Amino acid sequence: MEILKNQQGSRLAVVLKGRLDTNTAPHLEKELRSCLDGVEELDFDFEALDYVSSAGLRVILGAQKQMNRQGEMVIRHVNDDVMEVFEMTGFVDILTIED
């Protein structure tokens, strides 16, 4: 998985490419832990994210919980496969997903 970050002031944009699974989710968790301090707007782009398992969902949920306390989080361009995972797990109701 590739993680591309672009921080401008209190806005952090993160582009994920590839697979968010048991082996890659810890990398994302570590990246977010190191840079979410002071972020009020977290903007994910999932256009090139092909696969999410429960390990990935845990990290996404953790980010959402933290951003609920300090600002807002948006996930854009979710593909059909990943959307199916979000729907089946009820994550569509707790995430802000936009085109």
Q: Does 79 bind other proteins (CB under 8 A)?
A: no
Contacts of 51 (CB under 8 A, 6+ apart): 18, 19, 20, 21, 81, 82
Query: What is the distance between the alpha carbons of residues 44 and 28, in angstroms, rounded to a whole number?
Result: 12
Q: Does 53 bind other proteins (CB under 8 A)?
A: yes
Regarding beta strands 2-8 and 11-20, do their DSSP bridges make them parallel or antiparallel, or are they unpaired?
Answer: antiparallel
- SS3 assignment, position 37: coil
Least separation in angstroms between residue 38's CB and other proteins is 20
Least separation in angstroms between residue 28's CB and other proteins is 14
Q: Does 71 bind other proteins (CB under 8 A)?
A: no
Cβ proximity to other proteins, 7 vs 68, nearer residue: 68
- Residues of this chain that interact with other proteins (CB under 8 A) are 21-23, 51, 53-55, 57-58, 61-62, 64-65, 68, 81, 84-85, 88-90, 93-95
